[in-house]
Amino acid sequence: MEAVGHLGKSVDQAMKDAVTTAIRTQVSPRYVPDEIIEAPTVLDWYTAQAEAFRKEQ
């Protein structure tokens, strides 16, 4: 199965549809999730933590 997303891109309806279609056709319709939600990347979290740390200094 090919990766569908790209780093730094937000999840839009077209990307959700592509993920759903890929799972349905390449795996099984049984595994299509009810929801696809966007989660922050580890890099986003790390950057926010580093900025907060610098402000405390």
Q: Enumerate the domain spans of the chain.
A: 13-56
Contact predicate 7/42, CB 8 Å = no
pLDDT for residue 57 = 77
pLDDT for residue 26 = 96
pLDDT for residue 47 = 81
pLDDT for residue 29 = 97
Q: How far apart, in Å, are the Cα atoms of 40 and each of 4, 24, 37?
A: 16, 25, 10
Tell me which residue of 49, 51, 47, 44 sits closest to 8, measured CA to CA: 44
1-57 pLDDT, tens digit each:
444 445 556 788 999 999 999 999 999 999 999 999 887 677 777 888 888 898 887
> pTM value?
0.57
